Amino acid sequence: MEGTRTLKRTRLVRLLAACALCLGLAFAFAGCSGGGSEGASGGDAPKNDQAAESATRTFTDSAGREVEVPAQIDRIAPAGHTATQVLLTMAPDKLATLSQELTADQAKYLGGDYADLPVTGAAFGAKGDLNKEAVAAAGAQILIDTGEAKDGIKEDLDTLQTQLGIPVVFVETTMDTYGDAYEMLGELLGMEDRGAELSAYCKNAYDETVSVMAGIPEDQRVRVAYLLGDAGTNTIAKNSYQGQVVDLVANNVADLGKVSGSGSGTEVSLEQVSLWDPELILFQEGSIYDTVGSDPAWADLSAVKSGNYYEVPGAPWCWLNNPPTVNQVLGMQWLPRLLYPDHYDDDMYDTVAGYFKTFYGYDLSQAEFDEIAAHAQAK
């Protein structure tokens, strides 16, 4: 009997031990499972990051192309000089490259850090020297082009996209569409508020200019020549993409029929300039503004005799063109105030300082304005 009880106790102990072992294993597996869950969560984080990085959406650009772009864009390469300027106002911290080096003056207003970005050249234009390997090395997720929608642009963009292996997007920028362009960039880059801010500025500036010009009949608009080059005999022609500001607010005397899209303009003779005999001459920086007043060859021109000639400011870039991009928004506020001061009741400095603050986040002082616009204010 005692032996039977002993056997039962032994079996009970073994049974309890087995149950304890099972429970221990169950908790162990539960612990492993829990640990695995944490590990999976930690392991999934990189996968989620990778998924986020690889997530895309369809974006329709100004050329009507449907392009698969990253859902989150943080590293941009500009396709050229116009895009560089636009992106430096819109999303400078997202730039992975520049199309050309910044000068010391440009870095002063735009921020010195951006001057250290790799320079990769321009995809299109006369040089077409984009360094595709450098774009890839910079880790750019997308290349953005801005400017004029030229013939064959779809094919050119598609070809470049294939060569680069990253999305290429085009955003058209003209005098009357800068506002739309910034809204499009806001949508593309997930920066709707910044896009709306710059869009509103551009639209207001354009609408104000158009409104003022509507009150000035064509035959009362100043006859202007915009000259550049070492001899001052290159001109930005009427109806050219480079001459949009002059055409908007003045009578451009350089009606040449065929126009050049080059920032260097079209070469003409001094005799031709004399025949035009403009009321007012604009000289680009680096041309002959400093010497034209004492040059006998120019002495008989009405604008020179009356001292009615000026130098277009060039900080951070030329206010009228070269390249023709968002700097033109500043140009279309400056030039009509110079030509028709009676139609404005605000101060030129306040207008220019407002532009610098909005587009570059820079507080332009009166002294800096006086230096930049030294030869660009009414005499």
Instruction: Indicate which CATH number applies to the domain containing 62.
Output: 3.40.50.1980
Position 27 confidence tier, pLDDT thresholds 50, 70, 90: very low
Q: What is the mean pLDDT of the chain?
A: 88
- In a shared domain, residues 227 and 343: yes
- Boundary (domain end) residue, out of 206, 238, 270: 206
Q: Which residue has the higher pLDDT, 66 or 44?
A: 66
Residue 356: which of 119, 111, 95 has the closest Cα? 111
Structure tokens at 198: 């710059």
> What digits encode the pLDDT tens for the residues 69-126?
999 999 999 999 999 999 999 999 999 999 999 999 899 999 878 889 999 999 987 6
Structure tokens at 362: 């820079």
Predicted TM-score (pTM) of the model is 0.84
- In a shared domain, residues 237 and 147: no
What's the pLDDT at 115?
Answer: 87
Ramachandran region, residue 149 (left: φ > 0; alpha: ψ -120 to 50; beta: rest)? beta
Print burial letters for 327-355: b (CB count within 10 Å at least 16), e (below 16).
bbbbbbbbbbbbbbeeeeeeebbebbbbb
Is the backbone peptide bond immediately before 324 cis, with ω within 30 degrees of 0?
A: no
Q: Which residue has the higher pLDDT, 350 or 18?
A: 350
Does residue 38 fall inside a structural domain?
no
Does residue 62 fall inside a structural domain?
yes
How far does the chain reach from its first CA to its final CA, in angstroms? 129
Does residue 41 fall inside a structural domain?
no
3-state secondary structure of 176: coil
Does residue 141 fall inside a structural domain?
yes
Q: Show the 3-state SS of 272-307.
A: HHHHHCCCEEEEECCCCHHHHCCCHHHCCCHHHHCC
Residue 122: which of 132, 113, 112, 137 has the closest Cα? 132
- In a shared domain, residues 201 and 230: no
- pLDDT higher than 80, residue 326: yes
The whole-angstrom separation of Cα 76 and Cα 120 is 12
- Boundary (domain end) residue, out of 173, 206, 239: 206
- In a shared domain, residues 332 and 231: yes
143 touches 156 (CB < 8 A): no
Structural domain containing residue 358: 219-372
Does residue 351 fall inside a structural domain?
yes
- In a shared domain, residues 111 and 255: no
Does residue 16 fall inside a structural domain?
no
Does residue 53 fall inside a structural domain?
no
Domain count of the fold of the chain: 2
- Boundary (domain end) residue, out of 206, 234, 262: 206
Does residue 172 fall inside a structural domain?
yes
- pLDDT higher than 80, residue 130: yes
- In a shared domain, residues 148 and 240: no
- In a shared domain, residues 194 and 66: yes
